[in-house]
Every structure is written in structure tokens, then in C-alpha cells.
Amino acid sequence: MVVIAGDGLNPSRERVDQAWPLLRHHRDLLAEERIRYLRIQHAQGTHLSWARDFLATLRTRSDPSTVSLQWEAEHGASINIVLVALRHRGAQDTNEWSLENWDIARCGVLFANLAGRGSDYQVGLFTERMHGEINQELIHFGRAHCHGLMRQASVGDTGQAAGVDEFEDILVDQIARWLERIRGWRRSLSMPPAGRSRASWIAQRLAIADDRLAAWLERHMLTDEPALELAREMWQEIAPWPGPLWQALQELD
């Protein structure tokens, strides 16, 4: 099993040619049916174009039961983690939101720059074999962090667990809640600055990384149309990233 907890990629931050190796290997991972894939996706760090492509790729799996997704909005802005886990010999996978029957073979931890929104990661720690040993403290940290987030999903706390189809509904519902929140600010707070700075103000207040989403929220904060209906329409109009670029990038590979 591979467990990934974090933001995902952001096309406004990563150049597609530089991100191509990671995109390719991640897509290969999603296509590998023998590997169980569990993703804990940080809501505020999600870029919608990347999420659109990500979910479309997941739908190509023939066995959806090997994919588990969690949407969480409480943690994840500063830490992104990748775990490679091996099931205990003879153990059964009885709880998809537990690492109890899994040994962590590898761990990677990326710490983001906390100085400003949209900054790239500054520190990366990875378990590499040195003299036959790997860093058990790093493995323990990664396991504990992911297990805590997964426990939220299992007890119905701040995390929401879902399959691929349900995950899309959860994402759209989150967009609608953000819109309702800033409409509430409109009524209770002084208006933010007009123009482009208003979208930046919204992005900063919500701590979201998708600038296009912030601009969309700005456009609709003064309207009275149903938030969920608007969010669903907006999601359907999102173009996937890399989307059509996949073919061109594969030809250059």
C-alpha cells in the first residue's frame, strides 16, 4: 500500500516540464492494480485542475475497492508525507482506515515553507538505507501523523472518507461551504479591498492555494444564487491538468 497525505500538485506553482517525472510516476502508481492506494487530501492546498485529472485517472482502475480517499481541512498545510507499506504476512485488510496490519517500509516527509502561501517545499527527509539500517524515527513520525488523520475519517470527526465517486461530491460541497463562509463575511465584516486584491484577501483568509478558485469566490460572493448549485457548475467547467498535455509529454519522454 502507498499512503500519501498532503496537498497534491499545483499548476500555478509547478512547471509541467519540471513536474513531469513526478506526474508520470504518480500516474503509473495509480494504474498499478496490485498496490492499494490511500490518499489523505488537504482541502485548502488542493488545486482543482490537478484534482480533476487525479480523479479521472483513478476512475480508470478496474477495482475501485483498492482506492481510499480522505478529504481533511484541519491539517496538512505544512507537512506532506508518503508512506510505502507492506501487509503483515497472513493479515487481512479488515479496516481501510488503519495501519495496524501494515509495516512501513519507506517514508518521505516534505516540510513546506511557512513564510508565505504558495511557496515551494524547503526541506525533504527520506528513509534511505545506510549501512543496512533505515531511519526508524522518521518512519514512526510518518506513521503516527497519517494514522492520526486516518482516525479522524474512521470516527467521522474532521475528516471525510470516501470512494472516488463520493469524493467528488465532498469536494464540490467544500467549495459551496467556502462560498457561504465568505458571504457571511460580507454581512459581518467590512468589505475587503476591491479588484484583484480582493481575491488575494479571500485566498489568504481561507488559506487556499488555488488562485482561480479564489477569483471565482470573489465573483460570486455578492450574488445570492444557491452556493451548492454554483459550485457544481464551476467544478464541471474545470479543465484537468495536465489533461491534454499528457500525450505531448509522453511523446517527448
* Tens-digit pLDDT profile for residues 140-152: 999 999 998 888 7
Portion of the chain with pLDDT greater than 70, in percent: 85
Q: Which three cell numbers stand for residue 148?
A: 492520526
52 or 244, greater pLDDT: 52
pLDDT of residue 89: 81
Question: Can you tell me the distance from the alpha carbon of 54 to that of 52, in angstroms, rounded to the nearest whole number?
Answer: 5
For the cut 60, the answer to whether the pLDDT of residue 42 exceeds it is yes
pLDDT of residue 197: 79
Query: CB neighbours (10 Å) of residue 24?
Result: 14
Instruction: Quote the pTM value.
Output: 0.87
Query: Is there a contact between 105 and 85 (Cβ–Cβ < 8 Å)?
Result: yes
Q: In the predicted model, what is the mean pLDDT of the chain? A: 84
Q: Which of 178, 202, 200, 199 is nearest to 189 (CA)?
A: 202
Q: Is 112 exposed, middle or buried (0-12, 13-18, 19+ CB in 10 A)?
A: buried
Could you read off the pLDDT of 67-108 as tens digits, one per residue? 889 998 877 667 899 999 999 887 776 677 788 889 999 999
For the cut 80, the answer to whether the pLDDT of residue 118 exceeds it is no
What order do you get walking across the sheet with 121-126 strand by strand? 121-126, 102-112, 79-87, 2-6, 37-42, 67-72, 160-162
Q: Where are the chain's structural domains?
A: 2-163, 166-237
Query: CB neighbours (10 Å) of residue 57?
Result: 17
